[in-house]
Chain A
Amino acid sequence: MLDFMDYVQHAFYEASHWNRNNSYGTLTATSQALLDFPTPLGVRLHISSLSTPHFASSYTLASTGLLSGSLSYLYTSLPLPSLPTATRSLPLPAFTPTSYRQIQRLRPPDPAWWWETWHAGRRIDTRDALLYGRLYLPHSTLEALYLRRLTPTRQLKISAVSDARLPNGGSVLALLAQDHGKWSAEYMYSTDSALLGVRGLYNFGPDPRDRDAGIIPSPVMHELAGDEKTTVLAEPAEPVSRFSAGAEVYYGLLNKSGGMSTGIRFATLAAHTGFPYTMTVTLNPLMGNLSSSYSVRAGELLSLSSRFDFNVYSYESDVVMGMELWKLKDRDGSGGGGVVVEGEGKEGEDSKMSGRKEGEREESAGGDVAGCLKARIDQRGSVGLLWEGRIKELVYSCGTSIDLRGGKDLITGVGLEVQYSS
């Protein structure tokens, strides 16, 4: 279940035309969502609200034997008036997005002049920013986030944690991200042990900027282009898959230790006629860790994923398998939901369009969804189960983690999370 603040934050990305999936950090997002989903522990209650288009607040009460909670507030300079936030009316997938993350078509960065606002001969435009703060009680841990779109291709993200229990009382991470569509890069600096990091992602294939150079990527035109490919623009055939490669390097100045990894991903795009699938391989050459994952959306209601880890130095290996199954509401019409979903699978020609269409799809199909079951199992016999659903106006998720190996106790954790937002 997506945290409300994350939900709003993602909406901010969308509204500011930032493709958060075009980053090396999200190379394996699909398999991570399917295999590494967290299972709740204890009881957790969220009450959230987007009171104005600029301001959101959320309160959390948690009990895992000890009572704790958090208060969080969010301000965004970019109004989000159309963001549906009420769990009463919101379809379930809004807060529990599909794990399988369909790779969208690359979006060329907005032309710089798009962002210019002139008034009386002077530029008066400002940059969109987002401020977010969260105070955890009773430990008095403070999280703060500052997000700013510097240019259409750049975004600055500064996150900080203040906690007396941490060394130096907390840490700050500054991350500057660049996204040019064809490639993206992130530069980061963490005050904690002065960690420097760089990571980049390169997408093979046609450069969206070339194709769209000088052309306003209006939805209408793309609709046309999609329908009549042979006409006006004489575009090449829509690619059905994309191959991406990336790498990351970290180095801690203070502790003089570093790390690096490289990774590749092959994923089908929306134009792919078969079932969508994603394959990734990541390699950590320093530590000899090799990890490969294969995720497939076997149907609109079912996603499967598996990952195999192997370390060439220690010969340790690990296998994880996971699945996600959506359950549709029982309707009098048989298989109606399936048809609807099937139709939606072909959507998303345009990236800008897809966002909206995605919303529409959720809007349309969300009403049919009763819930979602996630499960994973690894070779050590630990099983995670998560069910997300809705009761009246509440979205809830309950989960458990089970240790089949027969340790001290079979069930290592049970939790229930309830969210209400208006």
Chain B
Amino acid sequence: MAFNFNWSPLTADASFYTRAQELLTTALNKYPKPPIIVDDIIVNELNLGSVPPDLEILEIGDLAEDRFRGIFKMCYTGDAYLTLKTRVQANPLNTYLSTRPSFTSPQPLAASSGLTIPLQITLSEIKLSAFIILVFSRQKGLTLVFRNDPLESLKVSSTFDAIPFVREYLQKEIEGQLRTLLMDEVPAIIHRLSLRLWVPEYRAKEDEELARRSRNPISDEQPVDPLASPPQDPIDVSGNFLDASQIASLSLDSNYEHHSLFSQKNLLRLAALTDSHRTLSLFTPGIRDAVFRAWTGPSEKGELHTSSARPIPPGISRAHSWSGTTSHTYTFSDNQEGPSSAKPTLSSFGSTATGFGLGGNRSSKPSNGRRKKRRVVNLRKKAAGGEDGQSVTDEGSTISGTTSSAQSEHGAPWPCQEREGEMVTPPQSPPRKAASREQALLDDNMPTLGRRVTPRNTIIEQSDESTPKPPQDWIPNHHPSSPSTRPRLRTSHTYHSSTQQPEKAQAQTSVQASQTSSINPFQYLESPTGGILEQAWMMKMAGEIARRVNEEKAAKHGFWDRTRDGMEEIPPPAYGS
């Protein structure tokens, strides 16, 4: 998963600055002004500068196509500046008397006559440091909350810099006002803006998002962006619990709608699951709020096959799962290319999802297909993630080594390649394209290898899709506007039907383990290869998480308890039925 922060394009948008100025002007004049300010405050100049803020992702709580929740730490020491124009009352007696009742006023004859002076204030060298909680939901818009006072320091230069008293006064007043603005107004502005902007076409929406982002540099990380980069792993696990501890200190409970993330219980279960895998133990803990992605079953394979024959192949679903930035279309087409060419192999190898044994139920799923909604994703540094992926792949291959030893050799590099390409430049398809082409070639040439690779793609698709996408019956009219919705829906059905059953999900691993021998080797080969990759990756991460959680647990007990409580109160919708 990668985040793409576009800072400079904001400046290219001419209308952005005017719009931002208007909004700021409105916001500044909304509250009653101190009596010394006798005119409207007009935003004269606004420049966000060229230095983007430093963003550190502490936690991503919820990630889906239509929702996002995350915590960020932002530091900004850029060259943005803001120029305000207004008029101030220079007569202190006038200011003073205007706030006092006239009954006890000395009622001076002319001593209180006003002298209004045009004042120009330039705010520069703004230093911000803040913890930001960003909650995005397509229905409710974007909510952004500062957990602390974001304003660190600020340089105020005005017309009256020569007078130290006035300068100090202005500095003090403006800092206070700006704090109010940042804490109260900016979230409101962004929320309003997001609500307003959600109606138009997606492309326009994206532009608006850019604007919104720039409006508030803090909100840079748009909910969509993280999804834009094709996520390699359905569960991006990061052991960022150090950050979590920081978060805990911020007492973030209030702003979370659903505390589905990082439930300690689930983490422990994940850890147990990992252990069971390692030991081939038959005991599998039931994980309530997590569903293992299951691969398409034999019947699904058939559908996949047919769908691939259609003009819009299954890949579309994946594109949507990434929440439809342009980059997605690219990746999608690439994927399509790969799989389609590899289709024969896919079809021949049929059921990929057997590993989880969910394929059988697939036919009934599409109607009431539930989709896994919540995913706790914690992002680490990309490099680390890549390495992890690599290692996981290896591990996966070794685990699935029973099925085919050759896979691991060839299969391992692929994911990394793809992942790197996707992560670094989400929108750019070329690397991926090449990869997929190669895949296709491989598939054609070497069926076994191809199997390994292609399924992986499908797996990715599935996982991606499953994460962001709401079940169709769940929110049927969710993306009425997007033209590609329908195909995606269809594909999603075909793909995800397998993943839907939570009960089975609980038993997934064991089933998989047991099925390994019994099921058609091809099936097994295919699904496990992809599945194992993902699974192993996840497991490893889960193990790591569990370990860390255990470490953290002692220190931060309250926080986790809280989260867990919240989560239990509101179970993720995916498990509603």
Contact = CB atoms under 8 A, between A and B. Distances in A.
Please tell me the size bucket of the interface on A. 35 or more
Contact of A248 (B94, B101, B111, B118): B111
Interface string A272-289: 000000000011101111
B101 to A, nearest CB: 5
B106 A250 contact: yes
B100 to A, nearest CB: 6
B106 A188 contact: yes
Interface string B89-123: 01111101000110111111111111111100000
A260 B105 CA distance: 15
A259 B101 contact: no
Nearest to A29: B109
B105 A287 contact: no
B109 A28 contact: yes
Contact of A25 (B101, B104, B109, B114): B109
Contacts of B105: 173
A252 interface: yes
B113 A257 contact: no
- The residue among B93, B94, B117 with the most chain A CB atoms within 10 A of its own CB is B93
A405 B121 CA distance: 29
A161 B93 CA distance: 19
A412 interface: no
B470 to A, nearest CB: 44
Contact of B108 (A160, A173, A250): A250
B111 A250 contact: yes
A252 B113 CA distance: 16
Contact of A257 (B96, B117, B118): B96
B110 A192 contact: no
A191 to B, nearest CB: 9
Contacts of A309: 113
B103 A159 contact: yes
Contact of B100 (A166, A263, A286): A166
Given A252-B96, A261-B113, A314-B116, A287 B108 contact: no
A60 interface: no
A291 B110 contact: yes
A255 B36 CA distance: 14
A257 B93 contact: yes
A379 to B, nearest CB: 15
20 contacts: A25-B108, A141-B101, A161-B104, A173-B106, A192-B96, A192-B100, A193-B96, A195-B96, A195-B106, A197-B106, A197-B108, A250-B108, A257-B93, A258-B93, A260-B111, A261-B108, A261-B110, A263-B109, A287-B114, A313-B117
Interface string A302-320: 0000000101011010000
Contact of B90 (A188, A255, A260, A287): A287
Contacts of A257: 92-93, 96
A141 B109 CA distance: 26
Most chain B CB neighbours (cut-off 10 Å) among A175, A249, A286: A286
A110 to B, nearest CB: 26
A270 interface: no
A376 to B, nearest CB: 18
Nearest to A141: B101
A261 B107 contact: no
Contact of A190 (B91, B94, B104, B118): B104
A27 interface: yes
What 8 A-B pairs have minimum CB-CB distances, sorted nearest first?
A257-B92, A261-B110, A259-B93, A259-B111, A289-B113, A282-B110, A287-B115, A173-B104
A171 interface: yes
Contacts of A128: none
Contacts of B108: 25, 197, 199, 248, 250, 259, 261
A313 B115 contact: yes
Contacts of B109: 24-25, 27-28, 199, 246, 248, 261, 263, 282
Interface in B66-90: 90
A363 interface: no
Contacts of B116: 314, 316
Nearest to B91: A287
Nearest to B115: A287
The size class of the interface chain B forms with chain A is 20 to 34
Interface string A188-224: 1010110101010000000000000000000000000
Interface SS of chain A: strand
A284 B103 contact: no
A172 interface: yes
Contacts of A263: 109-110
A70 B109 CA distance: 28
Contacts of A175: 106
Contacts of B115: 287-289, 311, 313-314
Contacts of A358: none
A318 to B, nearest CB: 10
B104 A259 contact: no
Contacts of A141: 101
Interface in A49-84: none
B438 to A, nearest CB: 67
A314 B106 contact: no
A284 B101 contact: no
A190 B111 contact: no
Contacts of B107: 25
A287 B109 CA distance: 13
A203 to B, nearest CB: 16
Given A252-B96, A289-B113, 10 more contacts: A166-B100, A171-B104, A248-B108, A250-B93, A250-B108, A258-B93, A259-B91, A287-B90, A288-B115, A314-B116
Contacts of A316: 116
A284 B104 contact: no
Contacts of A261: 108-111, 113
A137 to B, nearest CB: 16
A248 B106 CA distance: 11
A347 interface: no
Contacts of B94: 259
Interface string A235-260: 00000000000101110100101111
Interface string B512-554: 0000000000000000000000000000000000000000000
Nearest to B165: A256
Interface string A38-55: 000000000000000000
A378 interface: no
A171 B101 CA distance: 9
A249 B115 CA distance: 17
Given A261-B110, A287-B114, A289-B114, A160 B91 contact: no
Interface string B119-159: 00000000000000000000000000000000000000000
A344 interface: no
Contacts of B110: 248, 261, 263, 282-284, 289, 291
Contact of B106 (A160, A190, A282, A311): A190
Contacts of A313: 115, 117
Contacts of A403: none
Contacts of B104: 159-161, 171-173, 190, 192
Nearest to A283: B110
Contacts of B92: 252, 255, 257-259
Centre residue among A159, A172, A173 by max chain B CB count within 10 A: A173
Contacts of A249: 111
A382 to B, nearest CB: 16
A77 B443 CA distance: 112
Contacts of A197: 106, 108
Contact of B113 (A24, A163, A287): A287
B101 A166 contact: yes
A160 B90 CA distance: 28
A312 B94 CA distance: 17
A358 B92 CA distance: 41
Contacts of B112: 259
Nearest to B101: A161
Given A255-B96, A282-B110, A287-B115, A161 B91 contact: no
A17 to B, nearest CB: 23
